[in-house]
Amino acid sequence: MNAVIFTSSHHMLANYIIKHLLSMHDLNIVAIVESDAVYPGKGKWQSLIFMIRKSGLQYVGSQIIKFLYFHIGSTLYGFFPGNKPSHILYSYHEITKTKHIPILLEKNINTQTFITTMQSLKPDLFVSIFFNQIFKKNVLSLPKRGTINLHPAYLPSYRGLSPTFWVLANGEHHTGITVHRIDSEAIDAGQILGQIRIPILAQDTEYSLYWRCVRMGVPLLEDIITSIDRNKRNHAKPDSRVKPSYFSLPKKSDVNRFCARGRKFLTLRQLVGSPKF
């Protein structure tokens, strides 16, 4: 089954997932598309200024720290002799070089030029891993077996941006990881294919909770991709007790509420001690 992976550039947690997908025997990844957009519809500096004004330096700074840690760390790690693909700083870029898989950097996937490129690859499946652009109808019509997305929340609750931040800010006791179809421009609203409920721990930071969602989500995603490849029907009935909700970029007052609950974005020990395969 030919698959195209859609993700965001230098995303540490996406890197972990994609390395797992690259090791799947029955999945032929024909391209990886990385979004070159920071915030939809804005340039990089415009995005940064907009996000700081809305969410504040504490929120934006934590995201920049994770980005720079992986961006710089993975570059340096590549020069070490005996570096291991299992290490969190080992980039999937190193694997795609040996497999001759193209990496496409795209600011807008909904152009005719991009659609033409995708048509030439004859994709069966699109897999979205923390991708920050909207798939429009003409793009969604390309893969024969549709488009699926991994979302770090227990859908239909906490659709949208930064769900691990929002569940902590709102004092939730559980979150989850969900694999669902993307069949329209509605965000995180497609048919749920599978999900796992995940408890939130008292010591959780936004970073540690995000990691736990990802690590539990990888086997779920792999199982669903295998089922799609074998033409098995995937469908998980949404929990009727879960109320639908949608959240966007947090405001400074939301960040203050997050901190008032005693939550942190990350710690230095967590960052340098990131989990390995």
Q: What is the mean pLDDT of residues 141-165?
A: 97
Beta-bridge partner residues of 28: 2
Distant-in-sequence, close-in-space partners of 85: CB < 8 Å, separation ≥ 6: 19, 94, 95, 277
Q: Quickly list DSSP for 46-112.
A: HHHHHHHHHH-HHHHHHHHHHHHHHHHHHHHHTTSTT--TTSTTS-HHHHHHHHT--EEEES-TTSH
How deeply is 25 buried, as exposed, middle or buried, from its count of CB atoms within 10 A (0-12, 13-18, 19+)?
exposed
**For residues 181 and 152, is the Cβ–Cβ distance under 8 A?**
no
Burial of 131 (0-12, 13-18, 19+ CB in 10 A): buried
* Mean pLDDT across 84-100: 93
CA distance 142 to 123: 7
- Taking only the tens place, the pLDDT of each residue in 201-241 is 999 999 999 999 999 999 999 999 999 998 876 667 667 77
Percent of the chain with pLDDT over 90: 83
144 contacts 167 by C-beta, under 8 angstroms: no
User: Based on the number of CB atoms within 10 Å of its own CB, is 171 exposed (0-12), middle (13-18) or buried (19 or more)?
Assistant: exposed
Least confident of 116-125, 211-220, 262-271: 262-271
Q: How far apart are CA 75 and CA 78, in angstroms?
A: 5
For the residues 171-196, what does the mean pLDDT come to? 96
202 Cβ neighbours under 8 A, 6+ residues apart = none
Nearest Cα to 221, choosing from 3, 10, 36, 55? 3
Report the pLDDT value the prediction gives residue 274, as an integer from 0 to 100. Answer: 61
Q: Which CATH number, 3.50.50.60, 3.40.50.300, 3.40.50.170, 1.10.10.10, labels domain 2-272?
A: 3.40.50.170
Contact between 6 and 35 under an 8 Å Cβ cutoff? The reply is: yes
Q: Can you give the pLDDT at residue 123?
A: 97
Handedness of CA 207, 210, 216, 220 (dihedral sign): negative
Return the SS3 of 220.
helix
166 phi and psi angles, rounded to 5 deg:
-65, -40
Burial 230-260 (b: 16+ CB within 10 A, else e): eeeebeeebeeebeeeebebbeeebbebbee
Tell me: pLDDT of 37 over 90. no
